[in-house]
Structure 1
Amino acid sequence: MSELWILYCLSLGAYYFISIILVIVNFKKIQLSKFTGRKEKISFQRIYIIPLLNEKDRFQNLINQFSKILEKESKSKLVLVTTEREFINSRRENSTVNLIENYLSNSPLKNRILHLHYPKINNVVAKQLNYATDYFKDGLSNPYFIFYNADSVLSEDINTVLNSNLDGFIYQQSSLFTNNLNTLLNQGKFLTSTFAVYQSIWTIRVEITRLRLNNIPLKWFYKIIKLPVLTHCITHGLCIPKNELQRLKGFPDLREGGEDVALGYLACLEGKKIHFLPTLENSDSPKHLKSYLKQMKFWFIALFFCFRYNYKGFKNRVSFGRYQLLKSQAIFAIIRKLVSGPILIGYLIIGALVNKFLISLLFIILAQSLLFLIFAHYYQTLDLEFFRRIELKHKLIIGLLLPLTPIFRSIMAFTGMFTYFKLKDSDDFLKPRTD
């Protein structure tokens, strides 16, 4: 049993060591990109698309931010997409719709800001996004659709980064989820704050690593292993040419959401590389723990999307090897989410059996805290105005609570799995858009 405990320690130690290295390397990549001279590429017209639902409190900040962007980009447009769903619990005069209409009536940018209203009650954001992109189906040659959320906070150099990177391919800008972190901490919502940090670390450690692996500039690397990396097309920070999105038939319209996982899977299946846009955005984290847990559940369910497609529908343009490799990565992601919690609990149980429970617990807390402190260090040194310092007492609290996050993630993964198998045969569950 002692040998098993030692093996556990070595395995977890290696995992945390690799995680720390990935956080450092990926942050360094973002830092380096800010000081490296970039040659501006071909200028594509940009259509910024932002879905809105009950966003009255965020509207002014949103307009202030994108007004600055439009002033620097003479050809760009901003599309604000509201939905009939907003009128379920609010009257029109108190709605985001009314706020937009009042603003546009007197705005000097009214010719460059378009308001679209989805005329039905939707349950997922994909309907609003597809409604907006379909509006440009027959117009404009091949602009870039760039998607953000109402709470997206962009870096000062976003125009420069877009000018020097967008070249006709799909790009993904990654996001942290710490814009309202200090507010949550000051309200005493420590577990919710910890999940915000956990998800932000995951972005740096996993999401950016996947994007960078997809773009290793070594031809021999791909000739040897030919391994496509499954990446997501997250709808805040996604930059995709109109023609590419049309080839993919828009965002998969799934009953339970997860259009980012689904679109990324389809793009990778079609052999499209999703490139890393070397700057970060920031956004709010859910205000309530219940909302975060529900979000984690449906993120997990979305991974089952790949099983809704049969190889026969792609065999004329997709190799069987690519199809199996991507499906295998989805399966691995599913398994990892299911077992991460039990692995930590198993380690503590074995530690208790060999009278080393406190050492095991301390090891996990110290490893997670070190990962967080390194993340926090680079988080604070990036020259981005929305990064705020985290107080020392809050760092200690988050460090103590971080070991709980994999356990909660596994619980919600099992809940999501039961939901999937219960509903997977219903007509509209995880059903891809076909029109």
Structure 2
Amino acid sequence: MAKVMLIDGNSLAYRAFFALPTDMATASGQITNAVFGFTSMLINLWRDHGPDQIIVAFDRPEPTFRHTKVPTYKGTRDAAPDILRQQMGLVREVLDALALPMVDAAGFEADDVIATLATAGRDRGDDVIVVTGDRDTYQLVEDPHVKVLYNMRGVSDYKLYDEAGILERTGVSPADYVHYAALRGDASDNLPGVPGVGEKTAAKLVNDRGGLDGIFASLDELSPKLRENLAATEAQVRTNAEVMVLVRDVPLHAGLDELALGQVDAEAVRKLFDFLEFRSLHGRLADVLGDALGADASDGAELAARTPEPVVSVLATAAQAVEALRAAAAPEAAGTRLALATPAGGLAAGLAWAVDPDAGRVAFVAGELLDDHEVSEALAGLVGAGAGGQPGTGERHRPLAAHDGKSLMRPLLDRGVEMRDPLI
């Protein structure tokens, strides 16, 4: 019995891109936040779960059978940012150097490829872990063989779901998930649900009525408003269910037996990681793969031990940002290193600062949170003209050193923060 890990490549690259600052780049200017985050996640998954087989599934650019059935499918989604799309080739280069098989299929999504391989793994008696940030894969969970390792947020926050976990999370079993999701709808896929039916109501309807057929056969037993809304949206709900079901028999170019781990190209890995300036990642990879990376692997691990990898904590709420900024402004935190991303001289797109420089710990706040009044006040307490100094020193505020300080003043002022004059 093998342990098979199936990874949604697009999903993880997308999560990595939006979790890490877009000013992560090499000395030559190559932006690397998505490929760095993806590679870091991959190494952690390899280390923590020790799979015998890793397969990465990708979406293809052309429309799928779902677009044929529902022309507006995913029609409200914004196009992927150019700097994310430009890194997808690098993600594939990393996987190629590591000899990890990649699979896609014309007319289908990565989820369908994963569903097909997960079903094959189940039938083969394997333990299958599906790594994704897409809830549609909840329907694949099947004890004891198939689990979903769901990326909650960022690059390190996961939750492993078995059947009991899906029931706790959604209120329904994996076998009933499609009925539940069809009622609730999926705004990200532009699939409207039943008005007034949220997660709890959807779960109760499915559990009480035994699925969509049972629900629509017993409308007379429901409250007038719910009955009216269900009757008016039955066609939409049934269409939702049809496109939400993952395909388990996608015609693939290779089967599970042929998609085995290959021989790592140690020299290709070294050259690629050197180009991307992933020194710490190469050391971590060496710890996982050992001799497979060749004689220089131990040197990479030693270098990584001396060069801590940035651990980025994405502060997702205003309260978290305020707490962290106030801690950074505290007297004992003197020496805080802070970076402000201001694309094309516009509004601040993000703020990052070193929480623990020696350990490589970094906090990041997205630009939209800087609009929050309490967050901007906390930031002013760190860099503002009126920030207080250390008690007993006679200083009005701590000295501020800045590179290209004038270019920072306008974006901060636009957020209501008047930056004090820097020393340099």
More helix by share: 1
TM-score (ref. length: structure 1):
0.29
Larger radius of gyration between Structure 1 and Structure 2: 2
TM-score (ref. length: structure 2):
0.30
Structure with the larger RCO, 1 or 2 (CA within 8 Å, 6+ apart): 1
